[in-house]
């Protein structure tokens, strides 16, 4: 007994050993870059299992999980109804490459819950959804140019890995090696929430713009809302110039409200609807599943009835559809979003109070089960303002929380997620850990 505890003190952690092993075979040791902890430093935790609001790493340490697989796990991990649906589906076969009734049921469910959608196509990742939306928008409008906003992430397809060019008349430049400049020459990158710039862009290029794509609440800038006047102007200009307004709700869909962020904006802008929507994360409940949709008129441009090609071997996978359907059924239960929203608010309000009491600049926001916080005294409105965050301070906060068993996204620019499995005790434990950190700063 004594011997093994000494061993565990002196031997390197299993997380470290696994990271070293992974780095020999997998670039950077991870299959998606942000998991590598490059932004916050230290060793990524290799997760062994998860249940409810928690996961356990390879050293057996438990964390309260506020990333929920970057959004999908809105019910928490291992929800019994979802597990049961997946187990039953697996017994019927993993994949057929032929249509199934469950795909129709999932499409029916999505279209019922998101009123702007008349038709949807199921795909396997958010990247595939946004990439396909762009091809479809270009095919349907017979135009080439697209607008996106600095700080919004829409997956890693070539046309969307773009940063702003030197002016409105010039188009963006690639943010990744391997993307030829010609591939992004039709992508115009504008500042988020900047109405004047948006108007100028439409007056210069409006008749050539196929679509404007936006994260309505930008979870890839931690948590920045598009203002209501900005969304209203996006809608008006798209309509005026015949461009399609695309809401990328891969993160916000079924996460901020049952009808997604578009239902939140529709409360302030009567009759508001985007033309197209990309969905992912929650609709798969943790399995590879995403979708895009819009009006019948636009969607019927897709093959096999239209001339815009789009396909996928695993699209509408029967196990993933079972997982997504079971998840969507749970979140429609009465009071689900009221409870989720209240719990999430209690977290961000508690964190803000703890920081404010210790005199640490801090601000936060949330909608439904999605939240963000900044070590800034005012909520940012765009990417340059987000960039003003003191990143070493964030990293100290991050590691203090991690040591206390609280797992936030390991990067300053990422939103957080609360699930229906998080209890009031989990929130209180989290706030107490933050309070300790903030008061240690104040006493320095």
Residues binding ligand PLP (CB under 6 A) = 70, 125-127, 130, 153-155, 215, 219-220, 248, 250-251, 280, 290
Cβ-based nearer residue to ligand PLP, 70 or 223? 70
d(CA 235, CA 370): 24
**Buried/exposed code over 224-249 (b: 16+ C-beta within 10 A; e: otherwise):** bbbeeebbbbbbebbeebebbbbbbb
Q: 359: which residues sit within 8 A by CB, 6+ positions away?
A: 442
Q: Is 23 a catalytic residue?
A: no
What values do phi and psi take at 241, rounded to 5? Answer: -100, 0
Cβ-based nearer residue to ligand PLP, 35 or 154? 154
Cβ-based nearer residue to ligand PLP, 77 or 281? 281
Shortest gap between Cβ of 320 and ligand PLP (angstroms)? 12
Q: How far is CA 44 from CA 213, 287, 298, in A?
A: 32, 22, 43
- Say what the alpha-carbon torsion angle 197, 388, 66, 409 is, to the nearest 10 degrees: 100
Q: How far is CA 143 from CA 116, 243, 388, 390, in A?
A: 23, 9, 37, 41
Of 54, 66, 148, 248, the catalytic one is: 248
Shortest gap between Cβ of 289 and ligand PLP (angstroms)? 9
Q: Is 248 a catalytic residue?
A: yes
Reduced to 3 states (helix: H, G, I; strand: E, B; else coil), residue 375 is: coil
d(CA 185, CA 5): 60
Number of C-beta neighbours around residue 390 at 10 A: 14
Tell me, rounded to whole angstroms, the distance of Cα 131 from its chain centroid: 16
Query: Can you read off the two tokens belonging to residue 17?
Result: 């050993």
Shortest gap between Cβ of 428 and ligand PLP (angstroms)? 29
Shortest gap between Cβ of 132 and ligand PLP (angstroms)? 12
d(CA 379, CA 221): 11
Shortest gap between Cβ of 250 and ligand PLP (angstroms)? 4
d(CA 229, CA 209): 21
Cβ-based nearer residue to ligand PLP, 212 or 434? 212
Of 54, 63, 66, 153, the catalytic one is: 153
Q: Is 390 a catalytic residue?
A: no
Of 281, 365, 383, 426, the catalytic one is: 281
Shortest gap between Cβ of 128 and ligand PLP (angstroms)? 7
Cβ-based nearer residue to ligand PLP, 323 or 427? 323
Contact 361, 376 (CB under 8 A): yes
Cβ-based nearer residue to ligand PLP, 215 or 367? 215
Active-site residue set: 153, 248, 281
């Amino acid at each position: 007994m004594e011997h093994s505890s000494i061993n565990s003190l002196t031997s390197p952690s299993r997380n470290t050993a696994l990271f070293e092993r992974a780095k020999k075979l997998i670039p950077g040791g991870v299959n998606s870059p942000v998991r590598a902890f490059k932004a916050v430093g230290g060793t990524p935790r290799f997760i062994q299992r998860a249940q409810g609001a928690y996961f356990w790493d390879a050293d057996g340490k438990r964390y309260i999980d506020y990333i929920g697989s970057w959004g999908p796990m809105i019910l928490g991990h291992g929800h019994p109804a979802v597990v049961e649906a997946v187990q039953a589906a697996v017994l019927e076969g993993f994949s057929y490459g032929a249509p199934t009734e469950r795909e129709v049921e999932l499409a029916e469910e999505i279209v019922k819950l998101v009123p702007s959608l008349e038709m949807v196509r199921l795909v396997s990742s958010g990247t595939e959804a946004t990439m396909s939306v762009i091809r479809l928008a270009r095919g349907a409008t017979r135009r080439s140019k697209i607008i996106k906003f600095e700080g919004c992430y829409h997956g890693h397809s070539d046309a969307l890995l773009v940063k702003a060019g030197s002016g409105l008349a010039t188009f963006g430049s690639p943010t990744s090696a391997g993307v030829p400049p010609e591939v992004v020459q039709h992508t115009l990158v504008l500042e988020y929430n900047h109405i004047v710039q948006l108007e100028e862009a439409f007056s210069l290029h409006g008749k050539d713009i196929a679509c404007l794509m936006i994260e309505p609440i930008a979870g890839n800038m931690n948590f920045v809302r598009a203002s209501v006047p900005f969304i209203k102007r996006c809608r008006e200009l798209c309509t005026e110039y015949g461009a399609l307004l695309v809401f990328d709700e891969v993160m916000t869909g079924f996460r901020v409200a049952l009808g997604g962020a578009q239902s939140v904006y529709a409360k302030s802008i009567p009759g508001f609807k985007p033309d197209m929507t990309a969905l992912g994360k929650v609709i798969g409940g943790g399995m590879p599943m995403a979708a895009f949709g819009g009006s019948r008129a636009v969607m019927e441009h897709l093959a096999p009835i239209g001339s815009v090609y789009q396909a996928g071997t695993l699209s509408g996978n029967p196990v993933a559809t079972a997982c997504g359907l079971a998840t969507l059924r749970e979140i429609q239960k009465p009071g689900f979003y009221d409870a989720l929203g209240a719990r999430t608010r209690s977290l961000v309000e508690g964190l803000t109070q703890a920081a404010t009491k210790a005199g640490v600049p801090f601000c936060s926001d949330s909608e439904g089960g999605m939240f963000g916080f900044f070590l800034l005294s005012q909520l940012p409105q765009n990417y340059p303002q987000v960039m003003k965050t003191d990143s070493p301070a964030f990293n100290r906060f991050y590691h203090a929380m991690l040591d206390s068993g609280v797992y936030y996204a390991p990067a300053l620019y990422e939103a957080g997620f609360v699930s229906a499995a998080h209890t009031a005790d989990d929130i209180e434990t989290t706030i107490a850990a933050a309070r300790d950190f903030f008061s240690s700063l104040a006493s320095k």
